[in-house]
Amino acid sequence: MSLDRIRQAIIAEATAEAQQIEADARRRHEQALESARQALRDEFAGRLARAKEDAEQESYRQVMRRRAEHNLSLLKQRNAILDDLFGQAARRLADLPDEEYHAVMQAWMKKLPDETGGEVLCNERDVKRLAPLVSKLNESRLPEVRLKIGRHPEPILGGVLFRAEKFELVLTIEARLAQAREALAPEVSATIFSGEVSL
């Protein structure tokens, strides 16, 4: 084989090898680029998903906070309405004509123990209104357990506070209607707020 042919064969082999090396380098370069692109796409997708999740959670928190504020406001309004209703009932009860008022107070004062004496404390107006009722109750009591009527130390709308030596029995209009409000509030609320929509 001539020297010229050997040289051409070597050059051809070197060229082919160089082309192969270049092709391999380009393939590795493209693979590295694609891998980097995919890593960036994955990173972007992950960040986007986290941002969406954070935004949804923040939106949910805001909705829950606003719902809680709305429901609290609604509850305050309902309680104000109930307070007003029971306040009106208390004032009407206190302003009953004497005969009807005596009947109510007599029913309440049946809770007073017959064997225990004490003070029946009421507001200034009721000292006069209830004196005949207390006298009537005293007719069936022994002298040592008779009731004494007096003025309540604090302003009350009506009713009485029975104060014995060892205990007190609160029969004021305020206390009785507070008990009634607590017991009846769900039923009254269901009746007067039945059409109301809550969040």
Radius of gyration of the chain (CA): 45
Superfamily of 97-192 according to CATH: ATP synthase, E subunit, C-terminal (3.30.2320.30)
Pairing relation of β-strands 168-172 and 159-163? Answer: antiparallel
Check: pTM over 0.75? Answer yes or no. no
**Alpha-carbon gap, residue 96 to 169, rounded angstroms:** 23
What confidence score (pLDDT) does residue 193 get? 64
Both tokens of residue 11?
A: 């050059």
Mean pLDDT for the stretch of residues 87-96: 90
Whether residue 198 has pLDDT greater than 70: no
Residue 191 pairs with which residues in a beta bridge?
none
What confidence score (pLDDT) does residue 197 get? 46
Mean pLDDT for the stretch of residues 95-99: 91
State the pLDDT confidence band at 199, using cuts at 50, 70 and 90. very low
State the pLDDT confidence band at 124, using cuts at 50, 70 and 90. very high
For the chain, domain boundaries: 97-192
- Segment 8-66, tens digit of pLDDT: 877 888 788 878 888 888 888 888 888 888 888 888 888 888 888 888 888 888 888 88
State the pLDDT confidence band at 95, using cuts at 50, 70 and 90. very high
Strands of 118-122's sheet, edge to edge?
147-151, 118-122, 159-163, 168-172
Mean pLDDT for the stretch of residues 87-115: 90
- Residue 157, SS3 per DSSP: coil
Whether residue 82 has pLDDT greater than 60: yes
Residue 150 pairs with which residues in a beta bridge?
121
- Residue 195, SS3 per DSSP: coil
Please list, residue by residue across 92-131, b when 16 or more beta carbons sit within 10 angstroms of its beta carbon and e when fewer do.
ebbeeeeeebbeebeebbeebeeeebbbbbbbeebbebbe
Selection from 157, 98, 170, 161 nearest residue 130 by Cα: 98
